[in-house]
A and B are shown apart, each in its own frame.
Chain A
Amino acid sequence: MSGNNNIQYKPVQIVYPKFYINPNFSEIKSLEKKTIKWNLVTTFKVVSKNPEWDSITISIRLSLYREYDAAKISELVTESTYEIETGATFEQKYYIIGKLINQTSAHAQGAWAVKHSNPVLLSEIPQTYNKYLSEETGLKKDIYEKWQ
């Protein structure tokens, strides 16, 4: 159980609805870093469980592409669900969502590293920390709309 100013939250489920490796790349022997590109798509949804607890699911779609022809090399979808106490202020929600996105992206990194058996692909670890927060400008709007 973690908390921010007495708002408690904890992960209750981590699942991977999709894991894909392009067969053309499954036996790949080398991969130059400057020829690949990561794509990270983050969404979240909030469900009210009861007056005391909400449930937040963070979904991260992590895709690895070959840059010159946009061929998808591999993709992993991670969905981490957290229970969180109700009553958070907007500032607390913003802080907590940022932390949960970082936590979920680290879940995705951990899964990426153990799901791949090809040493070339498993050695490619996406750098995800604060990625969403630095690139996403709509997070505050999303929180207003999705988390009452």
Chain B
Amino acid sequence: MPKRKDINTILVIGAGPIVIGQGCEFDYSGTQAIKALKEEGYRVVLINSNPATIMTDPQFSDKTYIEPISAEYVEAIIKKEKPDAILPTVGGQTALNVAMKLDEEGILKKYNVELIGANRKAIETAESREMFKQAMLEIGLDLPYGYTVKSLDEAKKLLNKISLPAIIRPSFTLGGSGGSVAYNEEEFEASVNKGLKESPTGQVLVEEYLNGWKEYELELIRDLNDNVIIICSIENIDPMGIHTGDSITIAPAMTLSDKEFQLMRNAAIKCIRKIGVDTGGSNVQFAVNPVDGRMVIIEMNPRVSRSSALASKATGFPIAKIAAKLAVGYSLDELKNDITNRTLAAFEPTIDYIVTKLPRFDFEKFSSASGKLGVQMQSVGEAMAIGRTFRESFQKAFRSLELNLPGFETKDPRDEDLDIKRFRELDIKSLNDGSAFRMLKVKEAIKQEFSIEEIHKNTGIDPWFLTEIQEIVNIEKEYSSIENLEFLKKNGFSDLQIARLNNLSENEVQQMRIDQGIKPVYKLVDTCAGEFEAETPYSYSTYESENDLQPLEGKKIMILGGGPNRIGQGIEFDYCCVQAVFGLREAGYKSIMVNCNPETVSTDFDLADRLYFEPITFEDIMNIINFEKPDGVLVQFGGQTPLKIANQLASAGVKIYGTSSDSINLAENREEFAKVIDKLNILTPEYCIAKNYDDIYSYAETANFPVLVRPSFVLGGRAMQIVYSKEQLVDYVFRSAEATNDHPILIDQFIENAFEFDVDALCDGEEVFIGGIMQHIEEAGVHSGDSSCVIPPYEVSDAVKKEIETITAKLALELKVVGLINLQFAVKDDKVYVLEVNPRSSRTVPFVSKYSNVPLANIAAQISVGKSLNDFKLKENNFEHYAVKKAVLPFKKFKDEKVFLGPEMKSTGEVMGIDMSTGSAFLKAMKSDGYNVPKQGTAFLSVNKTDRAGLVPIAKNLMGLGFNLVATKGTCRFLNEQGILCDDMFKVGEGRPNVVDEILNDNIQLVINTPEGPQSRFDEEAIGKTSVMKNILTITTLPGARAAIDSMKHLNKISVKALQEYFK
């Protein structure tokens, strides 16, 4: 069928902020879908609250709404834009659940909008564990033994039917949210309660636990003609029980015979037909018993997913793009395969290489996390690698993780992770639990000659993979000599690994390779294993005989991507890389993208002129450079990832466009940077660079505490700590850091109760353009990535603003920045201190660009290759509107984590609220983060002494809004003295019912609680955790409180405005 003529406006619902379980893969699929719909001439309206996404760039949709993704706001947009249809299948669970709500509340009917892609019945049948089970039984598919329940009592009755361990999975969630395994009755009750709470429909599935079964996924697509094709099969190396998102996965499936694969294929096709997904992609998960081959179906997701993004990158088949076109009426045989350009989308991709996906964890950030993997996802990102054999692909994947692993190997012992250190005395039992580095433990176990059988029993990992790993170990043992250089390369060993095995330097090995003419060839990802000529620009390296492609013709520049997402280095940097591609195109250059993160837009095959899906390491990048001979490289868009190799590249004679690597070093090296600061006589906090313990002792004598301690070269404020006394300082240093010449410890005087500002600016070497000044809502001390911020600043004197601008300009010019620069300032008593300077794109660039409609990263790329700021006629922006950025924190996933914010960054994503006043913008931001901001009720107040004075107006305002006030003794007495009506309430431990009880009993709707400093935090943590669980708005700073109260004034009106409308 040709495309539908009866619809012209389509509303696309995005996925909102990046959270664990729902990452930037939905920006990739959303962007593809929007491009596809535009291509077909439809009018596209988008809602997404995540400003860091490419899809929310105004150029992609006709109308772009950065608004909370809730039924009320979507309705407002529907009312305004009158879409004919809504596409809910490219926005993850967020979009599906909103779509369901819109239908339930009759909003779709009211404005007669139809859902395309998946209808309500399909979504319900797939996402309701109960209906899904029924549906599967009806078509004769086997499932794990189990029942769905809606209450704990129901669940308890099951205990005589199902033997523990049992697994509990809620309906309508993803990323395993609320899922868990119960080994005893106590855990069982807890698990069921947790699951019931997490499920929007209060339903959980209780099932036999399939211990050690193999897990598989199939990605498939269906069109309105009922044609169904399988895009990709994925085999999880980690067995059932470890969420697919946290499992190491391989494509294609390795250990299924054709007979078994076809059964799985048939089952998946039956499933998608029964569920009734009329068009588009779906994902079906299976479990297979390794002993007798019994196959059961686990779930199906009636939408594009993390796995479909992976499948697209693994095969070259653009699932989301095709899905969008099918949704508007095309059938698969009417669409062409963009990769071959001569065949059609109606076929099944077949691949002639092995794809490995490794999850990226950030447990170091969450001291409370056990590090054990389970059915609930905990990974924050992923890396993908392609190789012609499993070993090559697997080793590459480890190189891609951005953990300084030279391959499938532990770091060199000096800076080895604790987790890996533990292998030294390996206990086979420790292999039972999945963990971030279990595979490295497995390798160690093989080295220590545990049998494959034994390891298989303890891990549930298939012997096929274990044998491959054994081969890697054997090669290291018997063939590690440099004589076998080519053989080692064919088996995926990096120059660094080979260097270590032979006591050589990386460069020496590299040189030997070059001398012996051992270099990789580049093969194409072509969807058809070479059967047809491909026009795809998408390739990977391997050590074989023949190149599939020739170096790109013409002026070309290479862009280094950001690698896997992790806390502190997220989607923002992919946004910048993508903008850089656009910029280069405008400047008349072809772009070569290198990245290894399958979730991203930057690795979409039709974005850059050529895509190399490779790790961002010196070796892998140099190989591509030697092959492509690009005019130069851009390193300032992929965050910290490319910077770490910038020096090596520069000294290898590679041209670095934009800010030079010397300038980068200058900014990263505190000692050098200090000189610059003094020269320009700019204020910075008093600091000390400790290269040995004596430095620290002597400093400790004179320092005025508190101080902030941190090792050098960090992103995301990792391992940073505020210490309040000499003793604490010494203690910290002994526990968590070493002080050496090349790894000094930096100690700054911590500026208390200061406002923090973030600045993003452009510089072409002569002139500077301030992209935006953001004022944080939380005080300095809360990591810039975690604090909310407002643009333009809301509480600042013109003098200070000027000062910030002057310093920014001075530093940009002094550092000879060509491109982007990001600075952080602390302002106290109108004194402006520079905290940090990053001569590169920053986390806030997309946010500022959305606020100001100036594509900073795009322009930066053009400046880097020679354009000057004048060419862009940029006006200093003075708009009427305000934008608020709010960080989204993963405390729900890490339940025991302290909820207080500090210099350690913990957020996984961000949302943006934009409106005509700070208050309403802040309100939207909070709503987008899923908070229900209370209209009135009871507010609990507990603030430290310094904050008390500031509390008075806040308390008055709250009363004005009709809140009752309760407070802890001290605070209460103080407020009463000020003549403010207020009851006191027990802290935890003072007696009961205490504040935590009252929160649990829903007697408190708002918490304002500013930390008492380092001591007596126990109470505050208890409060914090409880309110996170109950989703009660909890504010830990006075400015935050002021903003929140300000926002409450706007609770009654729902206003929506598209970005495009702000810049008319």
Check if A and B associate.
no
Interface residues of B, Cβ cutoff 8 Å to A: none
